[in-house]
Amino acid sequence: MLNTLDIARPVAARPSAQAPLLSVENLRVEFDTSRGRVRAVDGVSWNVYPGETMAIVGESGCGKSVSALAVMGLLAKPAGRVAGGRIMFGDRDLTKLSTSQLRELRGRDIAMVFQEPMTSLNPVLSIGMQLAEPLRIHLGMNAQEARERSIELLGLVGIADAARRLDQYPHQFSGGMRQRVMIAIALTCNPKLIIADEPTTALDVTIQAQVLELMKELSQKLGIALVIITHNLGIVARYADRLTVMYAGRVVEEGTAEQLFARPRHPYTLGLLRSVPRLDRPRAGLLDTIDGLPPNLLAPPTGCRFAERCFLRAAACEADPPLFDLAEGQRSACHRHAKLEQALAARPAAPPLPEAAPSDGEAPLLSVRALRKDFHVPVGQGRHGLVRAVDDVSFDVPRGTTLGVVGESGCGKTTVGRMILRLTPQTSGEVLFEGTDIASASAEAMRKLRLRMQVVFQDPFSSLNPRMSIGDTLNEPQLVYRKARNRREADERSAELLRRVGLVPEMASRYPHQLSGGQRQRVGIARALAMQPSFIVCDEPVSALDVSVQAQIMNLLTDLQNSLGMTFLFIAHDLAVVRHISQRIVVMYLGRVVEAADCDDLYREPLHPYTQALLDAAPVPDPTIERQRAARVLKGEPPSPLNPPSGCTYHTRCPRATAECAGIVPPLREVRPGHFAACIKL
Amino acid sequence: MLRYIVKRLALMIPMLFTVALLTFFLLRVIPGDIVEVKLRADGGNVSQEVIERERVRLGLDKPLVVQFGDWMKGIVTFDYGTSMWTGQPISREIGIRLGLSMQVAVMAAIVAVLIAVPLGTVSALFRDSWIDYLVRIVTIAGLAVPSFWLGMLIILGLLSLFNWSPPVTYTSFFTDPIANLSQLIWPALAVGYRYAAVVARMLRSSVLEALQEDYIRTARAKGVFERLVIVRHTLPNALLPAITVIGLELAFLMGGLVVTEQVFNLNGIGRLFVEAVTRNDFTLIQTLVMMIAVMFAVVNLIVDLLYGVLDPRVTNQ
Amino acid sequence: MTTLSQTALRPSPARRRWRDNPVVDFAVSQPLGVAGLVAVLAMVVAAVLADFIAPYDPVAIDFEAMLAPPSLAHPFGTDSFGRDILTRIMYGARTALTIGFISSFIGCTIGALIGLASAYYGGWRDMIVQRGIDLLLSFPIIVLALVVVAMVGRNRVGGIDVNLICAITVPIIPRAARVVRSAGLSIREMPYVDAARAAGYSSARIILRHMAPNVLGPYLILLTAYIAQAILLEASLSFLGLGVNEPTPAWGLMLSGNSANFYQTAPWMILFPGAAISLAVFGFNLVGDALRDWLDPRLKT
């Protein structure tokens, strides 16, 4: 009961002397599932002060969204309910309000922006109708007043031609635009507080920057307090004043952004910060990881919930830690918070990243030449449009190295990977694997080639066959390709493969649904290794994973490359991740390569304006750096691939574009030795 | 819009032609000659000569391809030939029965939709309550009770309560609307029960699905009244897929009529179809099959056009 | 490598609870399904043990007991030939179950294979299959069955109504194929199928080993639902005189012919066989529905 006592104690120093706007006190939320009762939020407290931006940070399943939904009274019924604690908004306890009192408050005093802009707007109602609804319900406006205010609001969130767009429907808006509409809806009644639940997770990095800048600017201008729920530490560093870190249904640390990023006082916060690859630091060694997995909330451990994964674990950790008050409002739920820095200094530094050097003069393992892919997509009423998903893409992957392919969604990077594996036939161009053209390979030759090139997919939940045990999944390629003579030999090799990817051999008897995301991704890698390939296409292999697990998988890939001399094509949208793992990088935009360079050259001196914009838009997890950086937000949205701009496809968004750019398709040329860019302004 | 309709109608032609081709030739693959069935029906001993003469009269002596060509030519000119059994023109055989069957179908559809929409919605909104269980049991029963048995139960009930039995003759709506309606409402109910059950079940699941959508959460987060969340945000989305089912089931009512007309002594299309099958009346069967295919295609087109009007995602493409 | 090898196999944290048993879980979460299962089991018992538990011979004509109302000797009464209706219902269950199960099994299996292959291959092959399915789906089940009856005639082969089974199977095939195809299309896009293709496995292996087990759920639901449909269809066809032939006991047949002449004098001739059909179909539908709700993760809380 230490926890409760601690919360009841008045808190001395606060960044703000005001009373909190919203104060969540010792909140408990339970869900009834078919497997038992889950206490998703277990004694959590956090405050929001007027006008500030507070971030709740944590990995999936830590209870960060659930606590926000509890504030709004939007927990999924009847499974979820508030089981204890208070939610004070002013002097009212939201958990005690009647349904209709809570409804009056929602949208008027507290508004919410959700993660999925594509599904959060009603597809059969016009945007105008959806915007006007809260105005008419809460403010009693008539149709004309509501419409005028709606036009004003759309202008405020940066949607041009507002009067006309009010009569349109959600499917006529892009994802970024829909999120702007959601923000406009949240702003309708001038709420005191907006809760944004992963507002940009579904968006590309350039659009993410636009949306977040907009939210920050508007909340400051209108004096609205903002709660941002996110797993992205970069966003937190740039936009949050204060943050609350959650782990397994509890708050583990809170404080200002500066405090937590400079001097985290909980091992979990520290681990989170150290396990993400950083754009602002030189590439160094393997990533720090947090070992193991978060506890199962059906049967949470007693004592400190992080103890099992903690390098500072001691006997004291068997008791439930209270939130210890540290200097200036920073609080940490770690018994050993005072020892943290000392212990960290004593830890050995991460081993340096061995640099895989391409051996000069040797022919590349894989060459892609003028690859192109056209898709015919239906555009309604039986008509079809042509989308050139990949256009004139060429690159080499030297043996034993990693080539990173980076770009936003729809840039064609995944299609390139699929054409290399002949999962999607190309429209034209060549894919040469050790000099053999894959497109023209016979079925027999292809079977031989498949042994040498394998794939690891993004989504660990669907990349394993749910009806096959892990052992069967790993045995299958060995038996089909006679890598093992019999079942027993295959079992033995599978056990060896599981050990190789950091799992225990006993896992073979399990089924995918019994594994965590990171474990499944390890099995996916083991399945690729079972063929003993020399080349693996990794298609967004870590983007669906939590940061601590992401680091584990990236370290595994690095290790495999070093010990087995493997060659990788690494496709990803996260610039820091690609940088960490690749030797050479290709940047794609709307189906074309805009820049290709060695990793360090590219990040040190990006040449193409699009690469520069991408790097500017990606926030780094350091508030000091972030606050010094001017906001340089890339304007506009990626054009429709059905109707791409003429000339350089980037000229519609490029700050350097002139009339000339619309006329010429810029060729990829060598601007510096080994550094190619497709821009005529260089 | 008009162009779209014309294009859709044009696309129906190859489909209907395939139906015609398949029915015509598959019907004639298995031996089973109508002439023999007809002339030797009562065990009578008819000479081969008579049979041959009858075959020539019906055009059955010509090669199959020629027969098919004749039929196709007839269809284009709205001349469907004559029934192999009664010798009457098929257009007349169908004409005198079509009105009756259509009326029963339309009445059944109206009754069914009126019952199904509130039932399905309420069932979803009060999911897992006693009312939901009741609706679910009633609707599953609707799929289970054969319409002909339901018809028999209705007759049994009317007989024992009012001593009313189905009249042998059909009264047209225009001569005596009351007599007409009181005669046809019972078969309409017998086939409409199943129809209502299908629509209500469909609606229940689409309302449940819509309620789980993110935009419903958005509406609640805006502070929209719960009643409006249902009426304005949930129902329009849930009713859209139900339109398809309402349309298709209307086109499929023919199936129910096939047996129910038998029970109520109604001389409609369904009964004609059963008789045609019993008597191997190929010309009649193939024409009826074509008619059902056309009806289905037209209903489908109407449903699609309705979507164009009601679903903004289709309208503003 | 310490960081990697420490991701140990974790003991399953939650204790094994009694609801972890799928049978128990089904029983607890789907009470209507259990009710349906009881009806189905009753029918199976009647069908299998008819020879031992039926009080009379199903085809024995007994003019003494003609049109006898329900009594202790004849619980459901007798028909116009004096045959015991309860006995005929028990033997009718045998007919209904045999024809229902065989037709549904053949129809769903063929349909599922067509649907899977069509989803896997895509392109022009899928186009053709789809057009074929659309074409067959434009006819109500009973109309299609009647057309098949008209095509293949009504002959018994080796004591089994092969033609009847054929007539009932044909309408089931496109319906099963459509459902399985759409399930197959989403499975086709799953990365694990891409992984199998990238591993160079044969198409047959991918369809049967990787895709088929993942449509087992929809397949079982279809199988149950179409047993119900097939029983209903068999009853309808027999009622029309185009299905099972006298004197074989069949529920639809018991309602057809001259039973309509006895509305007032012998209503039990109508009530009991119809109730048997309804109960059987009802039972299978309940089971099918419960299976669907139970297997559909979206509706799970």
Residue C163 in any domain: the answer is yes
Residue A675 in any domain: the answer is no
Q: Does C155 touch chain A (CB under 8 A)?
A: no
Whether A325 and A227 share a structural domain: yes
Neighbours of C13 (CB within 10 A): 12
Whether A616 and A603 share a structural domain: no
Which domain covers residue C265, as residue numbers? 43-57+91-299
Whether A382 and A336 share a structural domain: no
Residue C86 in any domain: the answer is no
Whether A335 and A390 share a structural domain: no
Q: How far is A132 from chain B (nearest CA, A)?
A: 11
Residue C262 in any domain: the answer is yes
Whether A318 and A427 share a structural domain: no
Q: How far is A376 from chain C (nearest CA, A)?
A: 12
Q: What mean pLDDT do residues C213-238 have?
A: 93
The closest CB to that of B214, out of A99, A120, A379, belongs to A120
Q: Does C13 touch chain A (CB under 8 A)?
A: yes
Q: Do A451 and C200 touch (CB under 8 A)?
A: yes
**Whole-angstrom Cα Rg for chain A:** 26
Residue C220 in any domain: the answer is yes
pLDDT of residue C13: 41
Query: Number of folded domains in chain C?
Result: 1
Q: How far is C214 from chain A (nearest CA, A)?
A: 7
Cis check for the bond before C140: say yes or no (omega within 30 of 0).
no
Residue A141 in any domain: the answer is no
Q: Does A108 touch chain B (CB under 8 A)?
A: yes
Q: Among A88-92, A146-150, B45-49, B190-194, whose mean pLDDT is lowest?
A: B45-49
Cis check for the bond before A78: say yes or no (omega within 30 of 0).
yes
Give the start-to-end residue ranges of the domains of chain B.
Answer: 11-76, 98-270
Whether A601 and A627 share a structural domain: no
Residue C97 in any domain: the answer is yes
Tokens of A88: 């004070």
When pLDDT is cut at 50, 70 and 90, the band that residue B311 belongs to is confident
Q: Identify the CATH number of the domain in which residue C207 sits.
A: 1.10.3720.10
Whether A200 and A279 share a structural domain: yes
Query: What residues have CB less than 8 Å from C278, skipping those under 6 apart?
Result: B141, B144, B145, B146, B149
Give me the helix-helix angle, B282-310 and B64-76, nearest 10°: 50
Choose among C144, C133, C138: nearest CA to C103.
Answer: C144
Q: Identify the CATH number of the domain in which residue A339 sits.
A: 3.40.50.300
Residue C51 in any domain: the answer is yes
Q: Does A598 touch chain C (CB under 8 A)?
A: no
Q: Do C191 and A34 touch (CB under 8 A)?
A: no
Residue A403 in any domain: the answer is yes
Percent of chain B scored above 70 by pLDDT? 94
Backbone angles phi, psi at A628, to 5 degrees: -80, -30
Residue A166 in any domain: the answer is no
Closest residue in chain B to residue A134, using alpha carbons only:
B222
Q: Do B7 and A107 touch (CB under 8 A)?
A: no
Which domain covers residue A497, as residue numbers? 460-532
Bin C159: left if φ > 0, else alpha if -120 < ψ < 50, else beta: left
Residue A676 in any domain: the answer is no
Q: Residue A557 in contact with residue C9, Cβ under 8 Å? A: no
Q: Do B146 and C277 touch (CB under 8 A)?
A: yes
Q: Considering Cα of A294, then A297, then A298, then A303, what sign does the dihedral take?
A: positive
Whether A322 and A235 share a structural domain: yes
Task: Identify the residue among C43, C130, C138 best suited for mutation to test binding to B, counting B beta carbons within 10 A and taking the highest.
Answer: C138
Distance CA B82, CA B60 (A): 13
Q: What mean pLDDT do residues B214-225 have?
A: 93
Bin A422: left if φ > 0, else alpha if -120 < ψ < 50, else beta: left
Whether A437 and A340 share a structural domain: no
Q: Among A244-248, A635-639, B132-136, C276-280, whose mean pLDDT is lowest?
A: A635-639
Distance CA A256, CA A264 (A): 10
ipTM value: 0.86
Write out residues in chain A with pLDDT < 70, as ranges.
Answer: 1-17, 284, 349-361, 380-382, 631
pLDDT of residue C8: 35
Q: Could you identify the residue written with the tokens 């030759």?
A: A445
When pLDDT is cut at 50, 70 and 90, the band that residue B34 belongs to is low
At C15-39, the pLDDT tens digits run 445 666 778 878 887 888 899 999 9
Whether residue B251 has pLDDT greater than 90: no
Q: Do A169 and B313 touch (CB under 8 A)?
A: yes
Give me the helix-helix angle, C31-53 and B130-144, nearest 10°: 40
Question: Which strands sit side by side in the sheet containing A384-397, from one edge to the other?
Answer: A384-397, A366-378, A428-433, A436-437
Residue A355 in any domain: the answer is no
**Which chains lie within 8 Å of chain A at 3 or more CB pairs, if any?**
B, C
Distance CA A242, CA A222 (A): 19
Contacts of A120 in chain B (CB under 8 A): 214-215, 217-218
User: How many angstroms separate the Cα of B288 from the Cα of each of B60, B194, C208?
Assistant: 19, 23, 40
At B138-177, the pLDDT tens digits run 999 999 999 999 999 998 898 888 887 777 777 788 888 8
Q: Considering Cα of C214, then C215, then C218, then C224, what sign does the dihedral take?
A: negative
Q: Could you identify the residue written with the tokens 């940490």?
A: A332
Instruction: Note the Cα B38 to chain centre separation in Å.
Output: 29
At C141-164, the pLDDT tens digits run 999 999 988 888 766 665 668 889
Q: What mean pLDDT do residues C49-59 have?
A: 83
Closest residue in chain C to residue B298, using alpha carbons only:
C138
Q: Residue C92 in contact with residue C246, Cβ under 8 Å? A: no
Whether A420 and A384 share a structural domain: yes
- CATH value of B98-270 in 3.40.50.300, 3.30.2310.20, 1.10.760.10, 1.10.3720.10: 1.10.3720.10
User: How many angstroms separate the Cα of A104 from the Cα of each of A98, A564, A604, A656, B224?
Assistant: 10, 62, 53, 49, 8
SS3 (DSSP) at A110: strand
Q: Residue B211 in contact with residue B126, Cβ under 8 Å? A: no
Query: Number of folded domains in chain A?
Result: 3
At C80-136, the pLDDT tens digits run 777 888 989 999 999 999 999 999 999 999 999 999 999 999 989 999 999 999 999
> How big, in percent rounded to 5, are the helix, strand and coil portions of chain B?
80, 0, 20
Whether A468 and A584 share a structural domain: no
Q: Does A8 touch chain C (CB under 8 A)?
A: no
